Amino acid sequence: MHKTISGFSKLTKIEKVDWILKTYFNDDDSSRNLVMQYWNSDQKLQKLHDEFIENTITNFYLPLGVAPNFLINKTLYTIPMTIEESSVVAAASKAAKFWFERGGFKAEVISTTKIGQVHFSFSGNKDELHNYFNAIKPKLISDAASITKNMERRGGGILDIELRDKTEELDNYYQLHATFETLDAMGANFINSCLEQFADTFKNETETHKINGISIVMSILSNYVPQCLVKAEVRCKIEELKDKDILNPEEFAEKFKQAVSIAEVEPHRAVTHNKGIMNGVDAVVLATGNDFRAVEAGVHAYASKDGKYSSLTHCSIDDNEFCFWLEIPLALGTVGGLTSLHPLVKFALQMLGKPSAKDLMKIVAVAGLAQNFAALKSLTTTGIQQGHMKMHLMNILNQFEANETEKKQLIDHFKKNTVTHSAVVEAIEKLRA
């Protein structure tokens, strides 16, 4: 049984690696080489990576791919995507080219309001609490002036603070519900600093106003941002949908719409349907140095906003016109955090033309819509596995350490044969025999 260790965080990186290797790998040289193989030879760059998080021992790489030919609001983009899953980048690229020939994507930011809350308990008279809040609301804002002045200079800041009574859901539970505009910053640190100041003022003023019983529980931003919305859509005449996979556009449009409708009413399908959207969304969010866990949490909460988990995309057919659209909450930033630190994040943002946060919201939403269109197009025509397994073939070949000659022969073989894991294994064994 392994023993606990004290002071691990104070060890050097080498000492941390040594302890892990001795404890879990019997000081195995191959494990040591593996860890050190992923260190960056540029010591300055490696130090930067080491300081992103705590207890760093090495770097974990993910591929950075690009999907070209995205026409968004008449501007052409090549979109960076960081993801490990086969066929995602290929599918996005295919959808981009399909819609490029049909007028491209349209996207608009509906609103950019972000939210933070001070959660507190109070067991006294509700009218007294409301009177107290109304009296000190201006001071809540003025006491945060040192935090908000730079944001206000750029046009952002605190939009409003409300007192919300949540006692029907939980005894004695209230909140200060604050809304913010953070412009090109995602704004987490800004919002949390404001909230903690609100909490201090809200508590400190109780003596002056002679109100007792307020107990601050916590102050924290919300990753559910239903008023930070972006919409992306594609539309064309039904006959314009025709391509090599869509021989009957009318039949395809109806089947596609039915597939979306199923995801709107059936949660089991909706989860997988939305996961495909997030393949595109997360890949761009990660490539641009944003928090994909926050985006995931907020988006899936939004998918449940009507009391049942449902599709994030929608489809209509009116007057011979096919329309497919997506509306999601996205709290993103193009300044601050990793956006100014990680060299590849800076590279990705420059490739996108140094977008504002609003522009990035549009690009990310479009990536999600494109990914979903590609998946549904495959599902309702050729089937999802045909393209996916061909892309997955290389992963299977690498798993069995196929050399370049073997790869060439097997790729040629599976141009005419169905790709399954067992079929690939059988073909490798036959070739090697």
List 196, 233, 291, 359, catalytic entry: 291
Quick one: tokens of 204?
Answer: 């400190």
Quick one: tokens of 360?
Answer: 């990035």
DSSP letters of 262-304? Answer: HHHH-HHHHHHHHHHHHHHHHHHHHHTT--HHHHHHHHHHHHT
Q: Report yes or no: 226 and 319 within 8 Å, Cβ to Cβ.
A: no
The position carrying tokens 């349907």 is 273
Q: How many CB atoms lie within 10 A of CB 341?
A: 14
Q: Which residues pair with 65 in a beta bridge?
A: 81
Which distant-in-sequence residues (6+ apart) come within 8 Å of 316 by Cβ? 257, 322, 323
Please indicate whether residue 421 is annotated as part of the active site: no
Quick one: tokens of 233?
Answer: 């859509």
Q: Report yes or no: 45 and 344 within 8 Å, Cβ to Cβ.
A: no
Q: What are the φ/ψ torsions at residue 366 (nearest 5 degrees)?
A: -65, -40
Please indicate whether residue 130 is annotated as part of the active site: no
Please indicate whether residue 291 is annotated as part of the active site: yes
Q: Where are the beta strands (DSSP E) in 114-156?
A: 114-121
The position carrying tokens 């201090």 is 200
Burial of 13 (0-12, 13-18, 19+ CB in 10 A): middle
Q: How many CA atoms lie within 13 A of 325 on its CB side?
A: 14
* Euclidean distance between CA atoms 302 and 391, whole angstroms: 32
Q: What are the φ/ψ torsions at residue 348 (nearest 5 degrees)?
A: -65, -45
Quick one: tokens of 410?
Answer: 């097997």
* Euclidean distance between CA atoms 157 and 190, whole angstroms: 9
Tell me which residue of 315, 314, 287, 282 sits closest to 298, measured CA to CA: 282
List 257, 358, 362, 388, catalytic entry: 388
* Euclidean distance between CA atoms 331 and 301, whole angstroms: 14
Maximal CA-CA distance, the chain = 88
List 203, 275, 346, 413, catalytic entry: 275
List 18, 49, 85, 177, catalytic entry: 85
Q: Are strands 75-82 and 157-165 parallel, antiparallel or unpaired?
A: unpaired
Tell me which residue of 23, 24, 19 sits closest to 9, measured CA to CA: 19
Please indicate whether residue 275 is annotated as part of the active site: yes
- Which of helix, strand or coil describes residue 401? coil
**Residues assigned a catalytic role:** 85, 275, 291, 388
